[in-house]
Structure 1
Amino acid sequence: MKILSIQSAVAYGHVGNSAAVFPLQRIGVEVYPVYTVNFSNHTGYGAWRGPLISPQDVADVITGIEERGAFGEIDAVLSGYQGGEGIGDVILDAVSRVKAANPSAIYACDPVMGNAKSGCFVAPAIPILLRERVVPAADLITPNQFELGFLTGTEPTDLQSTLDSVDAARSTGPSTVLVTSVERPDRPEGTIEMLAVTDGGAWIVQTPHIPMKANGSGDVTAALFTAHFRDSGDAAEALAKTTSSVFDLLQNTYDAGTRELQLIESQEAYAHPRMQFEVTQVR
């Protein structure tokens, strides 16, 4: 499998492509990483250095990959955090060209906007761009529950309202939706869930909630689910593998007491997921 991944990159720590590429490689995926920023560290530290890469420079890198004849072999285009408005046009153009070369390729979009605790942390134009232009062009999206609500103009809370919000999102274009950080009011205390919905049904998985903020974990989740689902077409299996891997990554990070993901140290969790959590079909 080959994935064109258009995301941010950092030298210190693991977010964006710096979180997504290694787990994908560890499960045998060839990744073509294209950087939208090249920062020293993620912006959550409040201070960082390095350039925001211009849309034209990003486009030039993508064109160079195309000139090597690679587009016909790409199985998926993956995008995450979009630092500026112009990157959206570059990504959509790349998706169009990849699909022209390989009609079976999919576009997986992680519509990064914010979360329930912090609210939106992207430029004001980005959520609108994602909702109106980028998400409708995607085959697979991986919003958290907060982002799902913004994309659909709904307030997903319990399982039924979350499923209704997913249906609203799917009606705009993407056939597959993975909802991360699902926090139902009636869930057992100390747990958190993920929900995957396709044309074939809906599946949910519940894990213990690890009490930490883990920048980059969503990027790992989106990458692994995209690869597993593109490989098998089985949403339940992809959900089980992704959940197992990401939980162990987060547990290892929590146990180490570090701010940055223990991404390299957790590599066996990607290569050989323990499959320790039950996936339940809910529709």
Structure 2
Amino acid sequence: MSSFVAASRIGGAAQQYVLAQHRIDPVLAPTVLFGRTPARGSQGEPTPPDVFRRMLADIEADALFGLVDLVITGHFSSAEQVEIAAGVLERVRAAAERQPVVVVDPIMGDEPKGLYVHPQVAEAVASRLTPLADWITPNLWELAHLAGRPVADAGDAAAAVRALGRRALVTSVPAGPDRIGLLLVDGDMAVLFTHPRLERAPNGTGDLVAASFGAGLVEGLSPEAAARRAAQAAAEIVQAAQAWRAQELPIVALADRLVSPQAPVEVERL
């Protein structure tokens, strides 16, 4: 349940490609429709809540809720959409023969602009979806917003996740002047996976990471192994985008490398 962007590799539309490459059959219920990324000025059309509700009811009517292995939530355009999504998560868990993995990407904002969804949406995501998640995948700014405390580095991030009482894979975590990465926090365990920070990275790396991480969990990888592979995949795709001067993440062109990425990452246990 996230955005559909026709010509840009961001949001739920991009995650479909990632999940399909991992042999997970994707079903996308779009919360908003864009032609291209809003970062380049696209004016989207939110899915009306009644249409969103009926779309999900059709998916449920085909008995697909009982077959779900993974749910990812991302962008929402209204608090009413968030409430509908929360109900879906509860019904999916009730219908599934085996408990699905629920990954909530609390898309709210980022540096330097801060909040870029309506405050009511951010509040609803925090109060309704975050408690239902097996894992949350916020960026550093979103984690600070959820926790209500400053978060500047990996140590701050680990403390904020523990204060929330959640399990998290935090994106865009700085590690010195020239490295950035992902921080996995699960109880007492905190592991930082970093790679070189590259200029002009296309939008969508957070969406890619959430899908790659979720796919790894479905495949039976440990959270640490799934996080490491997600970090490698993000690094590899961004490196290729920069080398090719691509405006978008080359998710389709490098699909096989999403599953078996080779980009080196440094691992630090906090």
TM-score when scaled to structure 2?
0.94
Cα distance in 2 between the residues matched to 1:158 and 1:7: 28
Q: Which moved more, 1:227-236 or 1:65-74?
A: 227-236
Cα distance in 2 between the residues matched to 1:262 and 1:75: 26
Q: How many residue pairs align between the two structures?
A: 269
- The residue number in structure 2 matching 1:201 is 189
Cα distance in 2 between the residues matched to 1:34 and 1:159: 33
Shift of 1:256: 1.6
Label 1:241 to 1:68 Cα distance change in 2 as closer, same or farther (>3 A). same
Q: Deviations over 1:73-124 (max 9, x none)?
A: 1012111011122110111011010000126123211001111222111112
**1:161 is aligned to 2:160:** no
| Structure 1 unmatched ranges of 5 or more | 1-5
CA contact (8 A) 2:235 2:263 kept: no
- The residue number in structure 2 matching 1:180 is 171
**1:241 is aligned to 2:232:** no
CA contact (8 A) 2:110 2:139 kept: yes
Cα distance in 1 between the residues matched to 2:186 and 2:220: 13
CA contact (8 A) 1:34 1:58 kept: yes
Q: Partner of 1:32: helix, strand, or coil?
A: coil
Cα distance in 2 between the residues matched to 1:23 and 1:262: 11
CA contact (8 A) 2:208 2:234 kept: yes
- The residue number in structure 2 matching 1:90 is 84
Shift of 1:135: 0.9
- The residue number in structure 2 matching 1:147 is 142
In the TM superposition, 1:1-150 aligns within 5 A as 6-48=1-43, 51-102=45-96, 104-150=99-145
Shift of 1:63: 1.3
- The residue number in structure 1 matching 2:267 is 279
- The residue number in structure 2 matching 1:3 is none
Cα distance in 2 between the residues matched to 1:14 and 1:83: 19
Q: Partner of 2:46: helix, strand, or coil?
A: coil
Cα distance in 1 between the residues matched to 2:156 and 2:251: 34
Cα distance in 1 between the residues matched to 2:90 and 2:243: 43
> Which aligned runs of 4 or more in structure 1 are off by greater than 3 angstroms?
none
Q: Deviations over 1:213-245 (max 9, x none)?
A: 422211111111111123325111011111111
Q: Deviations over 1:191-227 (max 9, x none)?
A: 1121011246221111000111422211111111111
Q: Deviations over 1:162-216 (max 9, x none)?
A: 21101012x2xx3x20000012xxx332111210112462211110001114222
In the TM superposition, 1:254-273 aligns within 5 A as 254-273=242-261
CA contact (8 A) 1:239 1:279 kept: no
Cα distance in 1 between the residues matched to 2:188 and 2:152: 23
TM-score when scaled to structure 1?
0.89
Label 1:160 to 1:47 Cα distance change in 2 as closer, same or farther (>3 A). closer
CA contact (8 A) 1:10 1:18 kept: yes
Q: Partner of 2:76: helix, strand, or coil?
A: coil
AA matched with 1:180: T
Label 1:200 to 1:155 Cα distance change in 2 as closer, same or farther (>3 A). closer
Cα distance in 1 between the residues matched to 2:40 and 2:94: 40
AA matched with 1:163: A
Cα distance in 2 between the residues matched to 1:263 and 1:160: 31
Cα distance in 2 between the residues matched to 1:73 and 1:275: 33
